[in-house]
Structure formats: structure tokens, C-alpha cells
Structure 1
Amino acid sequence: MSYALSPKVTPASTALASANPWSLLPPLGNLDAYISAVNRLPMLTLEQEQEFARSLKDNNDLDAAGKLVLSHLRLVVATSRKYLGYGLPHADLIQEGNIGLMKAVKRFDPDQGVRLVSYALHWIKAEMHEYILKNWRMVKVATTKAQRKLFFNLRSMKQGFKDDADVATHRDTLTQDQINSMAKTLNVKREEVIEMEQRMSGHDVLLDPSPSDDGEEAYGPIAYLSDATQEPTQLMESRQRDYLASDGISTALEGLDDRSRRIVEERWLKVNDDGSGGMTLHDLAAEYKVSAERIRQIEVAAMKKMKKVLAAYA
């Protein structure tokens, strides 16, 4: 991008450049007024730019930094217009670009033989790109440097295909010839172009959609993405069950007499090596020389007593 600076120095621009730069800031709250004001701010000559940059570098002169920033605010506005197609607020793009401009001014070295306008453009675009990638989708579509470059180049090239007068129909998806052309131009694989195109064509999906008008529960990703095992109430219930199954039952068994405890253990807690349970009612009845019904009555009484102890633990 070419960005011409005015070489002509007028008395008015000289007076403005030497004034307190922060007093030249336009009023806030009106974007049109801001853009109009920054476009009226004076440009700096090469000599002024070098002088202010050296003053900032050598003496940390904040007034000089302010003049460098103010004289390039129009560059931020001009650059931001190229990114309006992403549906993000123009004012936010300008704000992010201004952050990039201030970073550029802070790092600018006047002895490198390059104008600030060329150096700052990289930083301005970098901040705008970062803002777009973070806010264009809830889930980032590009995370690596290569993916970011592909994202912005692919979008501009796709727009070029749509604007081409030779294209009879405007499709939302790319044709095979267009994919091949993009991959060759951008020096990437066809698969990378296809993957990024799919990411860009996707839309945000509600994890937990609202119920429909007929009262039916809507089915969303939350139904199969959520992990119920890590839900706080589920964790508490699981820990409580584990506690009751170990310490709780042990304490409840200690409150029983020997016969009752053995009957409960044989009937409910014992597991043999072959997977079978313990003794049956008739087996226990034969051992204690009582009826099977009597064993069942002892078992019921013991279970009731244990339940009271476990209820206290719960």
C-alpha cells in the first residue's frame, strides 16, 4: 500500500505540530466526527518525523510520541476500511489499529532509513488481524501463522472470484478450478484451501439451544459434548456413594451381633472366585439349625438396623 506524506510545510501545520498533541484529539462518541478530525490533522515532513523519533528514542519524549501517533491516525482509518467485510464494528477495528500504531511508534528506529508509515502499517494490520480472528467466530478459525495468512488471502481471493464479471453464477462454495488456482497462487496444498474454506463457511452453533415453540426440547451439541462425570453434583454424589460403600457399611456391620453380621455378609457382600454369591437361606438355616424363615427374619432386622446407621452417614 502506498501512503503519500505531504512534503509541504505550512505555518498552520507547523504550529499544530509544535502544539501539545493531545489537545488535538477529536471528541469521543461520534465515529464520523473522529474520522473527519483525524483526516484534518497535519502530516509530518521527513525532518519532523526524524526529529520526533530521535527525541522519543533518546529522551523518552512522550510529547514527540504523541505527535508521531496523531500524524498517522489517518493511516489506521484508511487501513480499517479494508476489513469492514468481516461484520465487526468499524470503531473497534480503528481502536485495535491505533494500538498497533502506538506499538510501532514505540519500536520505531529513525536510523533504519524507512519512513514510519511503512513500518507502522505492519503493526496496524497485525493488531486488526488478531482482533478479527478472535471475534469473527466464537471458535478461532486460524491458530498458526500459516493458517492466518491463508485465512486473509483466501477470503480476498474468494471475493475476487465473486466480483469477476466472467463468472456467470456466484456460488458460496469454491469450484475445483478455483481451489486449484488458489492453492497454486498461495503455494499451499489443495487440502489446506478446502479445510480453511470449510472453516470460514461454517457458522456458530448454540451449545444449548432454546426449546422450540411447541415446547419440545431442542437437541444441541451440549447433549453429547458435556461430561456428566465431571459435573459438581455428580462428583459429590459419587464420592458419597464411595464413602457409604466403604466406611459407612463397615460401621453399620460393627453394630450387628456376630450371627446377624455373618448372615448379611454371606447373603449380600460375599462373592466367590467363580462369581457366585455366598450361602443361601437354606445353607445358613442348616448351619444354625433354624428354619430358613428365621434366617430371613434375622436378615431383615439386620438390614433395617444398618439402614439407620447409613442414613446418619448420608
Structure 2
Amino acid sequence: MTQTVSLMQLPVAMGNLDAYIQTAQRFPLLSDEEEKALARRFRDDNDLDAARDLVLSHLRVVIAIARGYLGYGLPHADLIQEGNIGLMKAVKRFDPERGVRLVSFAIHWIKAEIHEYIVKNWRLVKVATTKAQRKLFFNLRSMKPGSETLTPEQANEVAATLGVKPEEVVEMETRLTGHDLALEGNPDDEEGRLAPIATLADSRLEPTRVLEAREEERLHSEGLHTALSTLDPRSRRIIEARWLAEDGGATLHDLAAEFSVSAERIRQIEAKALKSLRGVLAA
């Protein structure tokens, strides 16, 4: 269906969403016989125009289904686009000989694609990884008796119905009822209010942290100095020139010329010296 997607030239649910919905509503519904004829042309002859007509006649179905997922805070246009992908997958797999209308067959594929998109992109959902958790995620809203927080008894009932743990129901409800907070604030805010991020303390500047960092740096420096003192003069010179020089370090060939040996010999000395340093520093 990848080729079909590229050739169909479907209307895109971006920009003016109202105009897209009006356009989608203009495509005529198909009779049972028309639907079967188009499906057979696509199945038997790979007729992309037939597949396009099947998709266009069901765009309104995708719009209606996508509207039911607006409560998750994702753009309606994005939900429609994902649903359209599911619709095209359904058209590719549709068998007109089974006596089932395309709309009934396509609903599963449309919802599956939208579900996958929501789970991957919704700002709070990272827990819905198992099949049971995904079922909980998509059914908890409709199963709640009201807008109030679930009581322990209600949470137990939902858990029993969906086959999950009561604590998972409580956690998911917390996620669904939570709200994002923009740390950076609104750049167009003219009232001069501080953004939440401005009130957060930088733990790196906390006095004890600063002292700990300085002490750690001192110990590291002293430890490195002690470790270097265990090397022979040539090895120490190579390590300092290769790893501790402020100008970016000497090359193997530079040091080979300095000690009148091959670059490979300098590499061997360097490797042995580094191994020795690691041993001393780890002790």
C-alpha cells in the first residue's frame, strides 16, 4: 500500500481543518455493489484509482473516530492523519468476498493506528506498554462514573473488569488527570511574571555541592600527579604530550621524531603507560 499512499493524492488534514472536513464530507458514500466492484479492481488489477475511491468514500468515518480521541490533548488533524493510514491499511487487506462492508472492517485498523500514535506521542503516557495497560488507558475515561477521583472500591471494580492491578488503575488515573506545566512560561506574557523555571534552584551552586566539587577536583589532580610519578620519564613525557597538553596534544609521529623511534613504538609505550595509570588510580 506504500505505492498506493504516494499515488492517491488524498486531501491532507493539515492547515484549515474545517475545509478538509468539508471536502471529505463531499465524497459520496458507496453502495454495497460499488464497494465490491472497486475492491475487486484493486485486488485483481492493482487499480490504484479504485483504492483511492474506497479511501475517499470513508474519510468521514476516520474523522468521526478521531474526534472521539480529542480528550488526550493531541491535534485533531494528527489523529485524522494517523486514522487515514489505518484506513489505507484496511483497504489493502479488505476481501470483498467475505460479505462484510469495508466500514466494519476498517474501524479496527483506524482505531489501532490512532491508539499507536497516542501511546507513542501523548505527553504523559509512558506506562501503557502491556496489552492490559493499553486497554486500561483507552477505557478508564469511559468507565469512570463521574469526574471525581475513583474510590478504592471503584478502582478495584475497574481493575477486575480490565484484568489489571488496582494500583495500576490509580496510577493511570493520576496520569490522565494530571496537567503539564510549561517551565519556560509564555514568551508573549507582557505582565512580567516569572516563569516557573526561574524559581527553580540550581543544585550545582549549592554551597556544599561547590565545596564537594572543588575537593573532588583537588583529589583527582593530586591522584593523577601521584600516578604520573610512577612512570619512567619517557612514558610520562608521552602521556603528558598526548593527553594533558593544552594545545590539543602531540601526534604519534611528533613523539616518534622526538625519541627517534617508530610511531608504532610510541603507541605501544602509550598503551602500557595508560594501563599502568589506570591501575594506580583505581587502587
Name the TM-score class by shorter chain: 0.5 to 0.7
Once the two structures are superposed, the pairs formed by residues 108-119 of structure 1 within 5 Å of their partners are: 108-119=94-105
Q: Aligned to 2:173, which of 177, 188, 197?
A: 197
Once the two structures are superposed, the pairs formed by residues 1-314 of structure 1 within 5 Å of their partners are: 25=11, 29-137=15-123, 140-158=126-144, 161-162=145-146, 170-171=147-148, 173-202=149-178, 210-212=197-199, 217-218=201-202, 249-252=230-233, 312=241, 314=244
User: Is the contact between residue 210 and residue 218 of structure 1 (CA under 8 Å) also seen in structure 2?
Assistant: no
Normalising by structure 1, what TM-score? 0.57
User: Is the contact between residue 133 and residue 164 of structure 2 (CA under 8 Å) also seen in structure 1?
Assistant: no
Cα deviation code 1:153-193 (max 9, x no counterpart) = 112222xx22xxxxxxx53x211232133234334443332
Structure-2 change in CA distance of 1:143 and 1:176 (3 Å): same
Cα deviation code 1:71-120 (max 9, x no counterpart) = 00000011111111111111111111011101111111112221110110
User: Is the contact between residue 53 and residue 108 of structure 1 (CA under 8 Å) also seen in structure 2?
Assistant: yes
Query: Distance in 2 between the 1:202 and 1:36 partners?
Result: 34
Deviation at 1:202, TM superposition (A): 4.8
Query: Distance in 2 between the 1:243 and 1:34 partners?
Result: 67
Query: Distance in 1 between the 2:128 and 2:14 partners?
Result: 33
Query: Distance in 2 between the 1:99 and 1:107 partners?
Result: 13
Deviation at 1:247, TM superposition (A): 6.8
| Structure 1 unaligned blocks of 5 or more | 1-20, 163-169, 221-237, 256-305
Normalising by structure 2, what TM-score? 0.63
Cα deviation code 1:208-245 (max 9, x no counterpart) = 98342xxx63469xxxxxxxxxxxxxxxxx9x999876
Q: Among the aligned pairs, what percent are the same residue?
A: 59
C-alpha RMSD of the superposition:
3.7
Structure-2 change in CA distance of 1:39 and 1:194 (3 Å): same
SS in 1 for 2:106: helix
SS in 2 for 1:174: coil
| Equivalent AA in structure 1 for residue 52 of structure 2 | G
Which has the higher Rg, Structure 1 or Structure 2? 1
Structure-2 change in CA distance of 1:145 and 1:71 (3 Å): same
User: Is the contact between residue 41 and residue 71 of structure 1 (CA under 8 Å) also seen in structure 2?
Assistant: yes
Question: What is the count of residue pairs matched by the alignment?
Answer: 212
